[in-house]
Amino acid sequence: MVSLARSEALTTPAKALDDLFYEQGERAGDEFPSLVATHFDQIFKDEDAFNGIQVLSLDCPPITTPSGSLVRFRGMIQSTMSNEIFPLTYEHEDMTKLGGWGLVDKLEFRMDEMDHRDSTLTDRSVYWAVSVPGESAFITEALDDTRSTSSTTDSKPSEVLPELEREIMKAQPHKFPIASKHIGVQVKTYTKDTSAFKPTDIVTFVGLFMIDGLGPPSLEDMNNNKEPDFVPTIHVFFARLHPKTIAPFVYPLRLSTPSDEAYQVEGYQGCLDSVLNDRTELISWIAEEALGGDQLAAEWVITVAVARVYSRHPDVLPPALTISSFPPPPKVATTRPKPTLAHVLALLLPATAFLDLPKNLSAWSDEGGHVSGSSEAGKPPLPQAVHFAPRSVDEDLHSGALQLAPGTVLTILEAGVEEGVLSSQAVENLQTLRSVIRTQTLHYKYPFSSGLGFEFHTELPCIVLCEGGKTGRSLFLPDNEVTLPLCPKASGGDKEYNLYRGASDIKLPPGDKLEGFRRLICGALVGDVKVTQAVGKYIQADFVKERSEGASKPSTITPDDLRLRMNVVRLLALTHHEAEVTEDIWNKVKALDEARRSRLKRS
């Protein structure tokens, strides 16, 4: 019975919805949208069945998706739009019919021909959703696994749509934070639990694909009989909210077994020795490929990369890392290249973004500069607006470069930026970036909002690459908790080139080893560690001892140092795949921090 319902939902989803209405709609009444969500979620509960739903993606874009198909789309909420009023049910030709889900639009009569006296009016939530910005290819492949690339419907395929309709189906670039190709769709949801989605939430939507007008029309447009802009739209059957943009990796690895096929590559043993060996090799690989052989910097990179917001009150936020003494991009390059570190992190982490501060901040205006994203081979990145914060323009929320999904690791290149008078846009952007680094908050700018705008929480671990000047610090960004001068190994005259190699020039480890690296670091992102009472007392006693022994020294450990180490100790335990913080992990954190402090003194 379930397989029959599933087959009908895949091939004729509109009919499956209509059938459900005639079978149970009258009994469900106003709760019919919840019934729809429960019904379709249940018949696609099995993973293989869910993977059989057509994916809306760059490989299967809206332009080639037949209208009326059942699709799934995993995306980030970019903006919330005004709710729409629609008839859940209405009378037509002495019959009670179902409204919503795009069904009314398919009927051959106008809305004003319906008898509204017997209609049930309600509202639905409307969002604009985009592909997850900066999502790594290996994560997309894992989460968008599909057994089906097409769907059989009775609707005309998009290939035969008029050229005008083909043009309007393109994603709106101003609603995506980085300069790269992506999917953008209007999403209409019908249940109460889907009415509270907020910007940067990651959600998988399953529903009917249609070409609909963008948002509810304004009174002025209705009075002028103005046709709306038409965009790809999903009328949602059910939705699944994701906590982060992460594939299902296991934590801790040592507890897994070779029989765990969902998590283990063939022959990979999740034991302690394998974890520690992979961790050591991962640090060495990052150091050699992206940091000139600096293993201390590489270990700090993976430590900060797995950080998250532990608490808002009191603040226990991701510690930002500044790698100073980082050389600027080579001047011989025709375009300003990314540091190799940004490419390496994209191979390891679920989602990454790269923010390139322009060389001349005084020229940073509404029309100048760009934020780099992924691009086609051999082609420069596409231009993007220079605003870091989202802003409302004519009641349309334009994305900002920092409107990113939780857990996205942000690499910021300051190296090569020249001192000078800052433009007003540069000041605003740097204030926005400082807020994200210091407090993990991003202010959205809306008309009539006071101060910086409406505040939204972020979770963006940040790595700043800067030259540092005489102070060894960033010129424009706040003094981060973790500052480390880069100390590359001697490598002849190509040191700068080594730090700015393209993705194709990176020497990759064997496939199974790279998979092991990903399972190590991505597993740490979903893991959790505890600090037992015994270890807490050990740390406190050790801090008191260290303070008393160093009372006569100018570099005495401070309470701020203890706070930083207490934050980092969890992260280091995560990268070791420990279930709880141990005394050994605490001692490793002390050694790691002392090595950093020692290098700072020498620089």
Q: How confident is the model at residue 237 (pLDDT cuts 50, 70, 90)?
A: very high
Domains in the chain (CATH in brackets) are: 2-242 (2.40.50.140), 265-518 (3.40.50), 528-603 (no CATH)
From 360, 489, 353, 510, select the one nearest 422 (Cα to Cα). 360
Residue found under tokens 């304004």:
218
Over residues 83-92, mean pLDDT = 87
Q: Cβ distance 236 to 129 under 8 Å?
A: no
From 71, 166, 177, select the one nearest 130 (Cα to Cα). 177
Q: Cβ distance 134 to 404 under 8 Å?
A: yes
Q: Cβ distance 237 to 17 under 8 Å?
A: yes
What pLDDT does 425 receive? 83
Q: Which two tokens stand for residue 294?
A: 């600096």
For 45, phi then psi, to 5°, come to -65, -35
- At 480-516, the pLDDT tens digits run 789 999 999 865 555 455 899 999 999 999 999 999 9
How far is 411 from 353, CA to CA, in rounded Å? 6
Over residues 35-44, mean pLDDT = 97
Q: How confident is the model at residue 210 (pLDDT cuts 50, 70, 90)?
A: very high
- At 312-333, the pLDDT tens digits run 999 999 999 999 999 999 877 6
- At 520-563, the pLDDT tens digits run 999 999 999 999 999 999 999 999 998 888 666 666 788 899 99
How far is 569 from 412, CA to CA, in rounded Å? 24
Q: Cβ distance 303 to 568 under 8 Å?
A: yes
**Which pTM was predicted?**
0.89
How far is 343 from 506, CA to CA, in rounded Å? 8
Look at residue 156 and tell me whether its pLDDT is greater than 50: no
Q: Which of 107-121, 134-148, 272-286, 317-331 has the lowest mean pLDDT?
A: 107-121
Over residues 382-404, mean pLDDT = 83
What pLDDT does 472 receive? 72
Q: What percent of the chain shows pLDDT beyond 70?
A: 79
Average pLDDT, the chain: 84
What pLDDT does 367 receive? 43
Q: How confident is the model at residue 585 (pLDDT cuts 50, 70, 90)?
A: very high
DSSP classification of residue 118: E
Q: Cβ distance 412 to 357 under 8 Å?
A: yes
How far is 385 from 172, CA to CA, in rounded Å? 13
Q: Apex CA 383: angle with CA 381 and CA 384, to 5°? A: 120
Q: Which two tokens stand for residue 29?
A: 């009444």
DSSP helix/strand/coil, 356: strand
Q: How confident is the model at residue 179 (pLDDT cuts 50, 70, 90)?
A: confident
How far is 439 from 9, CA to CA, in rounded Å? 46
Strand order in the sheet with 321-324: 352-356, 409-413, 462-465, 321-324, 482-485
How far is 352 from 340, CA to CA, in rounded Å? 13
What pLDDT does 384 receive? 41
From 57, 405, 388, select the one nearest 198 (Cα to Cα). 405
Look at residue 256 and tell me whether its pLDDT is greater than 70: no
Q: Cβ distance 253 to 264 under 8 Å?
A: no
Q: How many CB atoms lie within 10 A of CB 306?
A: 24
Q: Concatenated DSSP letters for 12-67? A: -HHHHHHHHIIIIIHHHGGGHHHHHHHHHHHHT-SHHHHHTSEE-SSSS-GGGSPT
How far is 100 from 191, CA to CA, in rounded Å? 12
Q: Cβ distance 354 to 340 under 8 Å?
A: no
Q: Which of 101-110, 351-360, 574-583 has the lowest mean pLDDT?
A: 101-110
Name residue 231's beta-bridge partners: 212
Q: Cβ distance 467 to 324 under 8 Å?
A: yes
